[in-house]
Every structure is written in C-alpha cells, then in structure tokens.
C-alpha cells in the first residue's frame, strides 16, 4: 500500500499549444494526463495524441539516459500530474508489476520510433 507521504507529486495546467518539453531536452519527470489532450511530436511530425489517463515521459527516465525522444505540447487546455524521477523510481521499486508494464510500454514506443525512421 502507498501512503500519500511516500510521494510528492504536483499538478499543473497547460494552456492551448503550450510546450511541456522539446525533443532532446534533459528529463526530470514523467506525466499522467488528468484532463485534456497532449500531442507528442518527433522530428516535426505528430506521432501520438494522448488524452485523459495517458502516461508519457517514461522513455527518457528508463531507456535514453534522461534525454527526451520527442516533444510534448497541449492541444487545448490540459491538467497533468508530474512524477519526478526520484518518485518514479520509488513507485516502480514498490510495484514490480507496474515496473514491468512501464518497461514494456517504453520498449514498444521506442520500437515504433525506430520503425518510423
């Protein structure tokens, strides 16, 4: 079981077209979409559109040494939950099933990135 004091996550809002991060930026967090829609752009092409419940940012925390593989921006207003690198790893260490699922998600997304090139 997780206690609220185990993690320190923050909520924040993005405005329409507001950029959250850019491809090749250093990474410090992953994100869960509470409300709204986020577009993921790689090499100038929209590769994904994520909405409520969508999770992203895991690739840079697990597989690319902290470098973003794509850009992310809000398509309309959006509310996100930010999970910092330390809390991300703390959460995964407490739930190996979740860790495996996130690893599988990151691997599948990286494979799609590779196939697009």
Give domain status of residue 37, yes or no: yes
Residue 31 lies in a domain: yes
| Beta carbons within 10 angstroms of residue 82's beta carbon | 18
Exposed / middle / buried, residue 72 (Cβ in 10 Å: 0-12, 13-18, 19+): buried
**Is 28 contained in some domain?**
yes
CATH of the domain at 104: 2.60.120.10
**Cα–Cα distance measured from residue 103 to residue 117, given in angstroms and rounded to the nearest whole number:** 22
Check: CB of residue 31 under 8 Å from CB of residue 68.
Answer: no
CA dihedral 6, 79, 43, 60 (to 10 degrees): 0
Q: Number of folded domains in the chain?
A: 1
pLDDT at site 36: 98
| Confidence at residue 20, expressed as pLDDT on a 0 to 100 scale | 97
User: Is 1 inside any structural domain?
Assistant: no
The predicted structure's pLDDT at residue 102: 87
DSSP label of 67: B
Q: Is residue 45 part of a domain?
A: yes
DSSP character for 26? B
The model's pTM is 0.85
Question: pLDDT 10s per residue in the chain (117 long)?
Answer: 445 556 667 899 999 999 999 999 999 999 999 999 999 999 999 999 999 999 999 999 998 889 999 999 999 999 999 999 999 888 888 889 988 998 898 889 888 877 877
pLDDT for the residue numbered 1: 47
User: 39 is in which domain, residue-wise?
Assistant: 10-116
Residue 26 lies in a domain: yes
Residue 2 lies in a domain: no
d(CA 69, CA 13): 22
Q: What pLDDT shows up at residue 7?
A: 60
């Amino acid at each position: 079981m997780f206690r609220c004091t185990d993690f320190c996550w923050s909520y924040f809002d993005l405005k329409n077209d507001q950029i959250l991060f850019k491809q090749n930026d250093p990474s410090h967090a992953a994100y869960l979409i509470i409300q709204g829609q986020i577009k993921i752009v790689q090499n100038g092409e929209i590769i994904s559109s994520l909405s409520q419940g969508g999770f992203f940012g895991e690739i840079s925390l697990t597989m690319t040494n902290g470098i973003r593989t794509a850009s992310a921006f809000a398509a309309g207003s959006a509310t996100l939950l930010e999970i910092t690198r330390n809390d991300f790893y703390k959460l995964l260490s407490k739930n190996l099933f979740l860790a495996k699922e996130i690893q599988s998600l990151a691997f599948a997304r990286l494979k799609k990135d590779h196939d697009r090139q």
